[in-house]
């Protein structure tokens, strides 16, 4: 990816250099297995190990005693017909043999329906969240996404900027541009932090300074893949237009091959992805609300 960026914005590697130079730790961010609800989900084996919540794969109560369960090897446990077992191989797909019973393994969630949530909240992918129509309707540190107040994904999205050249590096943060199709709006919220002084439309980094940080908040509305390029403009002699490539994978819940029934397809991303190439070549600008 570094070679790709150098070629696009310098013309050739030899053309770069002299004066202030911009450098980032890594100008590609690949965010994998981020839950749509943006909430961490613990594992459970039956509702008894999920405090106040539900097992995602657990069916509704179906029995009041063993007589309600068909077959000699089925028993009524906590209102559910469970199959007796001697090993994992004797259980249906999606279940494990635990304590001589086939028990379903899944995610511990707070709700299955809106009725499981307090007033003013609704069930959002297994989590009770406040509903909203704009960010102003949400508590601090949450944003209105797909009609719900959700926390953004921030882990792995921070990008540190340094001036490794000579002279002052002026980064025009106000002109930062988001490129991509409609899915790029999942990265529309950009935050800047300047350790060396007050934030302004233009931030000046002295030689050898690394005091500027950008953080792209990932707020996916639904499960799927999201692509965006953030362009950062400056007076740098090497990359006056520095692209920050972003890819995010939102999933229904984080995948655990040891416990989950099915896993989301592998999170893959490269400079040859058609979605990225389309953004770099055609430079579309999304209409984000």
Burial call 213-244: b when 16+ CB within 10 Å, e when fewer = ebebbbbbbeeebbbbbbebbbbbbbbeebbb
Among the ranges given (53-57, 123-127, 277-281), the one the predictor scored with the smallest mean pLDDT: 53-57
From 167, 170, 173, select the one nearest 192 (Cα to Cα). 173
**pLDDT value at position 254?**
58
If you average pLDDT over every residue of the chain, what do you get? 82
What pairs with residue 23 in β-bridges?
162
118 or 187, greater pLDDT: 187
Confidence of residue 21 (pLDDT cuts 50, 70, 90): very high
**pLDDT value at position 53?**
59
Residue 109 has pLDDT above 60, yes or no: yes
Residue 8 has pLDDT above 60, yes or no: no
* CATH number of domain containing 274: 2.60.40.10
Confidence of residue 22 (pLDDT cuts 50, 70, 90): very high
What mean pLDDT is predicted for residues 65-93?
77
Rounded CA-CA distance 107/273 in Å is 32
Residue 168 has pLDDT above 60, yes or no: yes
6 or 236, greater pLDDT: 236
> Does this model's pTM top 0.95?
no
Shared domain check, 191 and 275:
yes
Shared domain check, 276 and 170:
yes
From 27, 30, 11, select the one nearest 231 (Cα to Cα). 27
Question: What's the burial of 208, exposed, middle or buried (CB within 10 Å: 0-12/13-18/19+)?
Answer: exposed
**pLDDT value at position 86?**
87
Residue 112 has pLDDT above 80, yes or no: no
Shared domain check, 260 and 197:
yes
**pLDDT value at position 115?**
85
Residue 262 has pLDDT above 60, yes or no: no
13 in a structural domain: yes
What mean pLDDT is predicted for residues 253-278?
69
232 or 67, greater pLDDT: 232
177 in a structural domain: yes
The backbone torsions φ and ψ at residue 182, rounded to the nearest 5 degrees and listed phi first, read -60, -30
Is the C-alpha dihedral spanning 84, 88, 90, 91 positive or negative? Answer: positive
- φ/ψ bin of 183: left (φ > 0), alpha (ψ from -120 to 50), beta (otherwise): alpha
**pLDDT value at position 243?**
94
The domain in which residue 130 lies consists of 114-150
**pLDDT value at position 260?**
45
Rounded CA-CA distance 1/18 in Å is 22
**pLDDT value at position 283?**
94
Supply 280's token pair: 């770099």
**pLDDT value at position 162?**
96
The residues, ordered by sequence, that sit 6+ positions from 208 with a Cβ below 8 Å of its Cβ are: 162, 163, 164
Shared domain check, 49 and 88:
yes
Rounded CA-CA distance 155/232 in Å is 21
The number of folded domains in the chain is: 3
Rounded CA-CA distance 50/283 in Å is 47
Q: In what order do the strands lie in the sheet with 177-179?
A: 28-35, 241-251, 224-233, 177-179
287 in a structural domain: no
288 in a structural domain: no
What mean pLDDT is predicted for residues 271-289?
91
- Of 109, 139, 161, the domain-final residue: 109
Shared domain check, 185 and 133:
no
Rounded CA-CA distance 132/147 in Å is 5
Q: Residues 172, 202: contact at Cβ < 8 Å?
A: yes
Shared domain check, 277 and 173:
yes
């Amino acid at each position: 990816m570094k070679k790709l960026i150098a070629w696009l914005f310098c013309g050739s590697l030899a053309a770069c250099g002299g004066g202030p130079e911009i450098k980032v730790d890594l100008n590609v961010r690949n965010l994998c297995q981020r839950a749509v609800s943006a909430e961490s989900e613990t594992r459970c084996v039956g509702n008894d190990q999920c405090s106040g919540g539900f097992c995602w794969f657990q069916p509704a109560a179906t029995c009041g005693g063993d007589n309600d369960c068909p077959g000699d090897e089925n028993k009524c446990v906590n209102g559910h017909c469970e199959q007796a077992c001697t090993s994992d191989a004797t259980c249906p797909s999606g279940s494990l043999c635990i304590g001589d019973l086939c028990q379903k393994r899944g995610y511990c969630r707070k709700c299955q329906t809106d009725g499981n949530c307090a007033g003013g909240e609704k069930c959002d992918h297994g989590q009770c969240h406040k509903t909203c129509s704009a960010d102003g309707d949400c508590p601090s540190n949450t944003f209105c996404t797909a009609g719900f107040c959700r926390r953004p994904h921030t882990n792995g999205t921070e990008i540190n900027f340094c001036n490794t050249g000579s002279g002052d590096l002026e980064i025009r943060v106000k002109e930062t541009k988001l490129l991509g199709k409609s899915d790029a709006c999942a990265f529309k919220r950009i935050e800047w932090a300047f350790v060396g002084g007050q934030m302004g439309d233009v931030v000046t980094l002295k030689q050898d300074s690394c005091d500027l940080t950008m953080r792209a908040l990932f707020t996916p509305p639904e499960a799927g893949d999201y692509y965006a390029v953030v362009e950062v403009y400056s007076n740098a002699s090497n990359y006056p237009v520095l692209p920050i490539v972003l890819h995010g994978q939102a999933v229904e819940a984080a995948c655990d091959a040891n416990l989950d029934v099915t896993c989301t397809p592998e999170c893959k991303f490269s400079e040859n992805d058609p979605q990225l190439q389309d953004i770099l070549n055609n430079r579309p600008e999304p209409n984000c609300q």
